[in-house]
Structure 1
Amino acid sequence: MPYTHFHSPTLPVRYLLRNCTLYTGTSVLRHHALLIDTGRIEAVLPEVVAPTGLSEVDGRGLNVAPGLLDLQVYGAEGRLFSVQPTADALAALTGFAFRHGTTGVLATMPTNSLTMMHAALEAGKEFQRHHPGLLGIHLEGPYINPVKKGAHQQEFIHAPTVAEIDELLRVADGALRMMTLAPEITPPAVAARLREAGVVLSAGHSNATYTEATQGFSSGFAAATHLFNAMSGLQGREPGLVGAVYDHAAAQASIIADGVHCDFASVRISKKLLQERLFLITDAVTESQQGAYRFRRQADHFVDEQGTLAGSALTLPQAVRNCAEQVGVPLAEALRMASLYPARLLGLDDELGYLETGYTADFWLFDEELTTVATARAGKLVWH
């Protein structure tokens, strides 16, 4: 489908959103209103003191929270970015996310040929210039450990070099925001070059020992990719990458809260240990019967041609609901796991993740079932 600018042509640049419950990122406020002006939040204020004479939008008694952020998503609606790294695939991906309360995504390219990796960066660079819903590109590989490749393609896996990284950065021109690598095969010079360029490093598809993983976190890795999946596990005599994440003071970790990629008890245990360092991703793919990645849906997840678990069928609202209903996380905290905490990892928490004065007016409206009813990006509100 062609990309659509999501907005209401009749909505003024300054308006008051009222009759709703606000999950601000710090508080749950009832009988409050959001004052929006030119794409930013001008004020959060009690309805009784809200200014009069403004254009008003009825929040219909719904809940309002900061826009969700998905830092690992591959495709939607039959368009898989890892097979078709095009503007059309990005439009489908960002459009689908927007309709599910997600105002920012990192489109993800898994291990592939360097030609395809470059194509993903080129497409992301161009698309991002006109469509703020794309926060950038996440390259998941090809610098991973083949022992933990999961559904990634063996033929494209190799060790990184500074020269190859420099070429990726040149092509990306700022569009590369995150990269998943195995710390045990990543030379310090490669990690340093990526960090110097502002790329967030995440440890994943890794068989690292506890010592190797801890060294990675000490030398620039900021996170771990889809906790438990495709990584060395926590064992009594070798704590592995999972143990290193748990034990580190600052490392964040993404998790796929669908009950398939990891048991909800594992999500609960991890939440107790990691607290604000654990955030939600969808790891969502879509049906594909061409290219290097061919997926088919199996109940509530996707598998590749060999039957290997290959991705989820989640939306972020479903992940939030699972955390609230299956894991026992309070709703306000589950919402932060899909908005504020990923914003922190990208260094965007001074713009996104809160409903506060001065923040970008990215938010979504949802009912008690976590069904998305409307979404706003930069204050442009669309009812679905």
Structure 2
Amino acid sequence: MNKLALIGGKIYTGDAIFEQKALLISEGKIDGIVHDHEIPSDYGSYPVNGANICAGLIDLQLYGDGSDLYSAERSVASLERITEGLVRKGTTSFMMTLATNTISVFKEAIRVAEGFQHDAFLGLHLEGPFLNPKKRGAHPADLIIEPTKENIDDLLVGNQVVKMMTIAPERIADDVLQHLQGYNLLLSAGHSDATFEEGTRGYDLGIPTSTHLFNAMSPLHHREVGLVGAIFNHSTARASIIVDGHHVSFEAVKIAKRQMGDRLFMITDAVAACDKDIYHHVLNNGYYALPDGTISGAAISLLEGVKNAVQKVDIPLDEAIRMATLYPANLLERADIGNLNKGSMANVIVFNDNFKLQQVIFKGELKF
């Protein structure tokens, strides 16, 4: 069906909320929002029975889905399965992430991903290898390397698919950071032991965002407020946060939200069960951990993160939706996703007040 009118729902566009109106979808794009009596005759009506309607969710950090961990599989077939699984869960745009690994694995993963095309696939996010071993978390210390121009070029020259990278700002010289910025990546400060001054310097020099706030970064202490303090106090620094109740307490999310407002957005940091390669993820009461117990990834979908934000953190639904749609889209400088404005890509999810996903529409096509 090329022309579709979603009727009988509560529409969250990203900027506004509409009730008793219809969302029009035509040729894979949002065509507008109108009163029911204004629906053109050539549109097929699709009742949603009072459910919530919003843009498809955007996750800038996840490592796999189902039984597929991309760093261990490294195949187009794996990317296809991960993408299909994520879209069916309402995540219609995502950054496939690779944690610190050998340079050969990084390069193979890049080569494979360059052969994969899908409108939900935003590119690769390399979480490493230019991190601080003191805040390595689940990352192997022996695979973290110095951020030199030579190492950067060895990893990235000729690359067409790496779009994001997490780095420790205190470990990179100003001229090397400028060199890295020449690759036009979305840089994110993380796995960092930066002081307040070092973190602030990184944001002043153009690092726009930060990786999983509170996790694997120098904490806020009353005499040295660290990277967390730098993020809170910087006017432009943004940060992702994992709202699963395990990586970060819901009380900490509430504090961060009050400090940061629209600078805080949601990721899942989701991994998949894996017993091969260097990351062995074991499901442990709602999250994944390494065999030694180190927390290593989340086990939630992004829609579950939105649910937690509303039910556990008391964030209003419209704002929780923006944290998983509009704010990451703005960070990517993408006006065509993360909202339901006229002309945007028709990536739409429908879910009820219990956060049960009822429908996913991807580029105007009903997925289930």
After TM superposition, the structure 1 = structure 2 runs for residues 1-384 of structure 1, keeping only pairs within 5 Å, are 11=1, 13-127=2-116, 129=117, 131-173=118-160, 175-348=161-334, 350-383=335-368
Distance in 1 of aligned mates of 2:171 and 2:216:
15
Q: Secondary structure at the match of 1:307?
A: coil
Rounded to whole Å, the distance in 2 between the matches of 1:167 and 1:32 is: 53
Instruction: Answer yes or no: is the 8 Å Cα contact 1:118–1:171 preserved in 2.
Output: no
Q: Is the 8 A contact 2:131 2:191 kept in 1?
A: yes
Structure 1 alignment gaps of length 5 or more = 1-10
Q: Which amino acid aligns with 1:274?
A: M
Other structure's SS at 2:202 match: helix
**Deviation of 1:303 (Å):** 0.6
Local SS of the residue matching 1:294: coil
Q: Percent identity?
A: 38
Distance 1:61 1:179 in 2: 40
The whole-number CA distance in structure 2 between the counterparts of 1:262 and 1:321 is: 15
TM-score (norm 2): 0.97
Q: SS at the partner of 2:329?
A: helix
Q: Distance in 1 between matches of 2:43 and 2:133?
A: 59
Displacement after TM superposition at 1:105 (Å):
0.5
CA distance in 2, matches of 1:190, 1:87: 33
Aligned with 2:94: secondary structure? strand
Q: Is this contact kept in 2: 1:192–1:220, CA < 8 A?
A: no
Q: Is the 8 A contact 2:209 2:237 kept in 1?
A: yes
C-alpha separation in 2, matches of 1:117 and 1:379: 34
Aligned length: 368
8 Å CA contact 2:326, 2:339 repeated in 1: yes
Return the alpha-carbon distance in structure 1 between the equivalents of residues 115 and 180 of structure 2: 21
Question: Which residues of structure 2 form unaligned runs of 5+?
Answer: none
8 A Cα contact 1:121 1:171, kept in partner: no
Judge which range, 159-168 or 216-225, deviates more: 159-168
Partners of 1:246 and 1:53 in 2: how far apart? 50
Aligned-pair CA distance for 1:257: 0.6
- The separation in 1 between residues aligned to 2:119 and 2:154, in whole angstroms, is 25
The offset of 1:138, in angstroms, is 0.3
Report deviation, 1:124. 2.0
| Conserved 8 A contact 1:101-1:372 | yes
AA aligned to 1:71 is L
Letter in 1 for 2:342: T
CA contact (8 A) 1:36 1:42 kept: yes
Cα distance in structure 2, aligned partners of 1:167 and 1:33: 51
Q: Any conservation in 1 of the 2:3–2:42 contact (CA below 8 Å)?
A: no
How far did residue 178 of structure 1 move?
Answer: 0.8
Conserved? CA contact 2:208–2:237, under 8 Å:
yes
CA distance in 2, matches of 1:310, 1:23: 33
**CA distance in 1: counterparts of 2:357 and 2:152, whole angstroms:** 39
2:170 maps to a residue whose letter is E
1:356 aligned counterpart, secondary structure = coil
Residue 172 of structure 1 aligns to a residue in which SS?
coil
- Quote how far apart the aligned CAs of 1:172 are: 2.2
SS at 1:221's partner residue?
coil
Contact 1:99 1:372 in 2 (8 A): no
- For residue 171 of structure 1, report the CA deviation from its aligned partner: 4.1
Q: Which moved more, 1:359-368 or 1:275-284?
A: 359-368
Contact kept? 1:15, 1:36, Cα under 8 Å? yes
What is the letter of the counterpart of residue 140 of structure 2? Q
Task: Report SS of the residue matched to 1:91.
Answer: helix
Deviations 1:3-30 (A, max 9, x none): xxxxxxxx2x223222222111112211
Partner deviation per Cα, 1:324-372 (whole Å, 9 max, x = no partner): 0110100000000001111111111x11121111111111111111121
Cα drift, residue 300 of structure 1: 0.2
- Cα offset, 1:287, TM superposition: 0.8
- Specify the code of the residue in structure 2 equivalent to 1:195: Q
CA distance in 1 between partners of 2:307 and 2:62 (Å): 18
